[in-house]
């Protein structure tokens, strides 16, 4: 063999050895790998077996616990009572929440489409969203209910308001007292009496007639004794005021319509809304069911003002949500509501308006006509501010023509010595003064009492 052959054999041997080594190495690696995998799988299996066992154990323990509690419930019903509501407390609010939603849904669902589409979404958000509002709702709900005030009874307020009127300073009465305190009345004194009556807004015609009558009486009796003149003046004033005039509100008359409708009218700021609120209290004190209609849509604050009055005595107020809505449509809705509720009285407040604004005066006629589609209007009360004196007369005439007036409320008599307008307004319009406003207090409204009024003037 030559050297080349030997070298080739050597290389081949080395290559074979190397291949053999490589094969062995790879096989031993594979074995190790398989072993590791097998070990890992075994470990996993063991872990899962342990987990299963744990679960089984837990289940068994839970089952045992359930059995135990069931046995405890069966054996002792008294003890767990305090726990039961706690356990049932959670589903409780959910149950309460559902009917609450159903109620509001029913209330809100005025259109037929809504109730059908509601049930599905209602079921989904139940668990989380409902218990919360249910827990919050009961808190505000009871707050407004215990509030309704008890308005003063008619008898009680009459005594109080008479005393109030007597206390108020009355320059008219004082002037008369000074004149009539004289022994013999001169021509000038008689003129002063007439002037005083004029200043008290008794009106020119009525004042002249009163003084003429008194002078005639004095001439007939041959003397002008101040005490007698005073007594005679009282009688004559009572005649002028109308001692026997029927001043009952139409709503209070036997056989009155049910609901009986009252519309409040007058120029700006005379006290219409305040009187509507006070009047509602007067009826509530009398046990009547009242509804207020806010037909002053000129500004939202007017309806808010009326709502405040209503809320104090739990009287519902029908109003429009938007400013400038048609007041006649509010009157229509209010009369429909009062009818539907079976109310005893509906009081409709209107916006103040100047008697020389023809379109606004026409609006009053419309309010009346539209209301009458539902209910007859029994009363239109003109609210006159006693402090405006004879100017009120011009107003009264125009209002009477526009809507018809069945009675007058003389407001703010507490701040005026000019109550004499009672005489002229009744004479001119042929309608009685039915109520007087004697302050800003909620119950400072009283039926007009001629004797109290005349005594107040002469005090």
Ligand X SMILES: Nc1nc2c(ncn2[C@@H]2O[C@H](COP(=O)(O)OP(=O)(O)OP(=O)(O)O)[C@@H](O)[C@H]2O)c(=O)[nH]1
Place of tokens 């539907």: 340
Place of tokens 């109030």: 164
Nearest residue to 450 (alpha-carbon basis) of 427, 420, 429: 420
State which residue, 45 or 440, has the beta carbon closest to ligand X. Answer: 440
CA–CA separation, 250 and 401 (whole Å): 20
CA distances, 36 to each of 31, 43, 387, 443 (Å): 9, 10, 110, 98
Contacts of 426 (CB under 8 A, 6+ apart): 241, 242, 245, 408, 432, 433
Quick check: 261 and 290 in contact, CB under 8 A?
A: no
Q: How far is the CB of 410 from Mg ion (least distance, A)?
A: 17
Q: How far is the CB of 136 from Mg ion (least distance, A)?
A: 35
Binding flags for Mg ion, 241-280, as an x/- string (CB under 5 A): -------------------------------xx-------
State which residue, 270 or 371, has the beta carbon closest to ligand X. Answer: 270
Strand partners, 382: 265, 408
Q: What tokens appear for 73 in the block?
A: 């419930």
Q: What is the DSSP letter of 383?
A: E
Total number of residues binding Mg ion (CB under 5 A)? 2
State which residue, 190 or 298, has the beta carbon closest to Mg ion. Answer: 298
Q: How far is the CB of 305 from Mg ion (least distance, A)?
A: 6
Question: Is 366 annotated as a binding-site member?
Answer: no
**Beta-strand relationship, 317-318 and 345-350:** unpaired
Q: Which stretches of the chain bind ligand X, using CB under 6 A?
A: 266, 268-274, 296, 302, 351-352, 411-412, 414-415, 437-440, 444
Question: Is 162 annotated as a binding-site member?
Answer: no
Residue 456 binds which of Mg ion, ligand X, none (CB < 5-8 A, kind-dependent): none
Task: Tell whether residue 424 is a contact of Mg ion (CB under 5 A).
Answer: no
Quick check: 284 and 290 in contact, CB under 8 A?
A: yes
Q: What is the DSSP letter of 372?
A: T
Residue 266 binds which of ligand X, Mg ion, none (CB < 5-8 A, kind-dependent): ligand X
Q: How far is the CB of 343 from Mg ion (least distance, A)?
A: 21
Question: Is 270 annotated as a binding-site member?
Answer: yes
Question: Is 89 annotated as a binding-site member?
Answer: no
Task: Tell whether residue 411 is a contact of Mg ion (CB under 5 A).
Answer: no
Q: How far is the CB of 371 from Mg ion (least distance, A)?
A: 18
Question: Is 253 annotated as a binding-site member?
Answer: no
Question: Is 268 annotated as a binding-site member?
Answer: yes
Q: What is the DSSP string of 115-161?
A: HHHSHHHHHSSHHHHTHHHHHHTTTTTTTTTT----PPPHHHHHHHH
Residue 406 binds which of Mg ion, ligand X, none (CB < 5-8 A, kind-dependent): none
**Beta-strand relationship, 433-437 and 407-411:** parallel
Quick check: 210 and 237 in contact, CB under 8 A?
A: yes
Binding flags for Mg ion, 130-149, as an x/- string (CB under 5 A): --------------------
State which residue, 97 or 393, has the beta carbon closest to ligand X. Answer: 393
State which residue, 190 or 298, has the beta carbon closest to ligand X. Answer: 298
Task: Tell whether residue 350 is a contact of Mg ion (CB under 5 A).
Answer: no
Q: How far is the CB of 382 from ligand X (least distance, A)?
A: 11
State which residue, 193 or 303, has the beta carbon closest to ligand X. Answer: 303
- Residues making contact with Mg ion (CB under 5 A): 272-273
Could you tell me which residues are annotated as the binding site for GTP?
A: 266-273, 349-353, 411-414
């Amino acid at each position: 063999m030559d050297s080349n052959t030997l070298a080739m054999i050597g290389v081949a041997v080395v290559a074979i050895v190397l291949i053999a080594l490589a094969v062995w190495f790879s096989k031993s690696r594979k074995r190790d790998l398989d072993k590791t995998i097998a070990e890992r799988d075994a470990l996993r299996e063991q872990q899962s077996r342990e987990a299963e066992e744990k679960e089984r154990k837990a289940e068994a323990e839970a089952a045992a616990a359930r059995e135990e509690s069931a046995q405890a419930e069966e054996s002792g019903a008294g003890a767990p009572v305090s726990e039961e509501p706690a356990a049932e407390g959670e589903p409780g609010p959910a149950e309460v929440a559902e009917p609450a939603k159903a109620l509001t849904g029913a209330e809100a669902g005025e259109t037929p489409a809504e109730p059908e589409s509601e049930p599905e979404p209602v079921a989904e958000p139940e668990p989380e969203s409902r218990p919360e509002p249910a827990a919050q709702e009961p808190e505000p709900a009871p707050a407004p209910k215990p509030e309704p005030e008890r308005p003063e009874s008619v008898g009680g307020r009459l005594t109080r308001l008479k005393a109030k009127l007597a206390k108020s300073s009355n320059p008219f009465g004082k002037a008369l007292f000074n004149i009539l305190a004289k022994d013999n009345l001169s021509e000038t004194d008689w003129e002063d009496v007439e002037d005083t009556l004029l200043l008290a807004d008794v009106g020119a015609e009525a004042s002249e007639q009163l003084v003429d009558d008194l002078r005639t009486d004095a001439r007939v009796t041959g003397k002008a004794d101040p005490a007698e003149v005073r007594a005679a003046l009282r009688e004559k004033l009572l005649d002028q005021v109308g001692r026997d005039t029927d001043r009952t509100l139409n709503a209070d008359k036997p056989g009155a319509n049910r609901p009986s409708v009252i519309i409040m009218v007058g120029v700006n700021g005379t006290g219409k809304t305040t009187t509507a609120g006070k009047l509602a209290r007067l009826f509530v004190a009398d046990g009547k069911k009242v509804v207020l209609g806010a037909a002053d849509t000129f500004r939202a604050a007017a309806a808010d003002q009326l709502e405040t009055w209503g809320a104090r005595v739990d009287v519902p107020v029908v109003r429009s949500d938007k400013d400038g809505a048609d007041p006649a449509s509010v009157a229509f809705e209010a009369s429909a509501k009062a009818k539907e509720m079976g109310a005893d009285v509906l009081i409709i407040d209107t916006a103040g308006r100047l008697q020389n604004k023809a379109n606004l005066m026409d609006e009053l006629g419309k309010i009346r006509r539209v209301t009458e589609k539902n209910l007859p209007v029994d009363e239109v009360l003109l609210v006159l501010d006693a402090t405006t004196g004879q100017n009120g007369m011009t107003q009264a005439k125009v209002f009477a023509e526009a809507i018809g007036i069945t009675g007058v409320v003389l407001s703010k008599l507490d701040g005026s010595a000019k109550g004499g307008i009672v005489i002229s307004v009744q004479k001119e319009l042929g309608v009685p003064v039915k109520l007087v406003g004697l302050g800003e207090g909620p119950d400072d409204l009283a039926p007009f009492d001629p004797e109290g009024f005349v005594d107040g003037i002469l005090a």
